[in-house]
Amino acid sequence: MDITLNKNSTTDAVIKVTLSEPDYQSRISEKLKEYSKTANIKGFRPGKVPSSLIKKMYGKAIKAEEISKLLSEKLQEYLKESDLKFIGDPLPSDQQGEIDWDNQLDFEFLFDIGLSSEFEVPADIEVENYDVEISEKELEEIYEDLKARYGENQEVENVKEGDVISASLKGTNIEEERKVVLFTEKLEKKSKKLFEGKVIEDTVVADIEKLFTEKDDLKQFLNVEDEELEKYSGEYEIKISKISRNTPAEPNQEFFDKVFGKDKVTTEEEFKSEYRRILNENLKKEAEHKLAADIEKKMIESVNIEIPVDFYKRWVLRSNEISEEEYDKHSEFYIKDLKWSLIKGKIQDEQSIEIKFEEVLDATKKMFLQQFGLSEGLTPEIEQSLNGFATDYLQRDNGKNYYQVYSNLRNEKIIGLLKEKVKLIDKKITRKEFEEIIRN
């Protein structure tokens, strides 16, 4: 057997595997013996079928199967032992000639393979590291919003700003009256005056395009998508059928208990302090996720990696259950994901990053603790059960769960190293500013 690699370019190559009869004959002979022992053929007792008959009936299929297995094993060994950075798995080459499984003794197999160019992981990139602060004004707005959320809705007789109106809509492109819900707080300033003081059964005539300040609010009101919105223009009749008003919850113990649980806090000051703590914890986690995403983005943009675009597409289409149309639609994502994978692989090799089974098991146990709402300091019985749950989970789906937890841990370690490597620009911002950054 001989395996050679011929480069067509810096990123594309062909692997040639040549086989002669001695390379595979022993495997075929062994498999024929196994078939002879187990074959159930009419006219012969089990285990007494002549090898010549087995060979005649199954020889071609066995030959093809055993050579395919041998090829797969040797190719994987070759890829593993090589110093080259391969992308994907070998794919049968278009240059492959016809194979005569009946008569051919010596074989030549050709496989296309992708290669990654050499690259360096930069240390001079800058990434903003957000320190998100909750202002007193933001905390007060959240507090008022919570009181409204835990308040009571009551039906009222006339409209005030902030009320929710149930109505029927008539106008162009509406053949029958359409039931709609209108949030008065989202109305354009002049539109609010049209509804102010109106009562049930009143009809308001309004220019539909000027009803709201935001286009998304009009889409939600009409329950249509962008392409349908242009159909609606001019004046429409809005007949009021119900007016609902929210009465905010009183800042008492009942309200505190609904939000945090019985007697967790007992005063407004304690409530706001605890809510600020929870918000800060959540924002810190979100800021860490944002930092990790920004480091990944900057790395992909900064590292110059040549990749076999056409080969990679072939490999993705062959390895995943997606159409070519779907791949083309999201090709930018697939290419970025490949580049990030190559960068992580290089960092892992250079820094000798290891993820042990115990780490994967501990991470899985922590995941279950969070799901069950449990904390550390468990009884030996619960700890044993938790170990069982975690081990069983990691063994499911042919190891996919294990790989997912392993990948998350690997990513965390790599991002941790990159945080020390890149230049972090600390920046204090408000919660609203951070939310705007996330949206964009």
Tokens of 346: 């290089």
> Is pLDDT above 80 for 228?
yes
Fold of the domain spanning 152-247: Chitinase A; domain 3 (3.10.50)
Average pLDDT in the chain = 91
Q: What is the pLDDT of residue 375?
A: 67
- Is 80 exceeded by the pLDDT of residue 341? yes
Q: What's the angle, vertex CA 211, arms to CA 205 and CA 216, rounded to 5?
A: 145
Question: Would you state the pLDDT for residue 376?
Answer: 64
The answer to whether 179 touches 157, Cβ cutoff 8 Å, is no
338 falls in which pLDDT band (50, 70, 90)? Answer: very high
pLDDT at 36: 80
Q: What percent of the chain has pLDDT over 70?
A: 99
Q: In this predicted model, what pLDDT tens digit does every residue of 96-132 receive, in sequence order? A: 989 999 889 999 999 999 999 989 998 889 999 999 9
Nearest residue to 54 via CA among 69, 68, 33: 33
All CATH 3.30.70.1050 domain ranges in the chain, comma separated? 2-115
- Cβ(327)–Cβ(313) below 8 Å: yes
Count of C-beta atoms within a 10 Å radius of residue 106:
9
Residues 409-430, mean pLDDT to the nearest whole number: 94
Q: Tell me the CATH number of domain 288-439, given options 3.30.70, 1.10.3120, 1.10.287, 1.10.1740.
A: 1.10.3120
Per residue in 6-65, pLDDT (tens digit) is 999 999 999 999 999 999 999 999 888 888 877 777 777 777 777 788 888 888 999 999
Lowest-confidence region among 42-46, 141-145, 398-402: 42-46
Q: What is the pLDDT of residue 56?
A: 84
3-state SS of 138-192 is HHHHHHHHHHHHCCEEEECCECCCCCEEEEEEEECCEEEEEEEEEEHHHECHHHH
Model pLDDT for residues 290-301, shown as the tens digit of each residue = 999 999 999 999
From first CA to last CA, the distance across the chain in angstroms is 56
- The number of beta carbons lying within 10 Å of the beta carbon of residue 439 is 6
Give the residues across from 242 on adjacent strands.
166
Positions of CATH 1.10.3120 in the chain: 288-439
Query: For the whole prediction, is pTM greater than 0.85?
Result: no
Report pLDDT digits (tens) over 314-328.
Answer: 999 998 878 999 999
* Cα 310 to chain centroid, rounded: 24
Tell me 108's DSSP state.
E
pLDDT at position 369:
86
Strand partners, 171: 174
Q: Which pLDDT band, with edges at 50, 70 and 90, does 4 fall under?
A: very high
- Rounded distance, CA 364 to CA 190, Å? 56
CA dihedral 180, 181, 183, 189 (to 10 degrees): 20
| Percent of the chain predicted with pLDDT > 90 | 75
Q: Which two tokens stand for residue 181?
A: 């819900």
- The domain defined by 2-115 folds into Alpha-Beta Plaits (3.30.70)
Listed in order, the ranges of the chain carrying CATH 3.10.50 are 152-247
Residue 377 has pLDDT above 70, yes or no: no
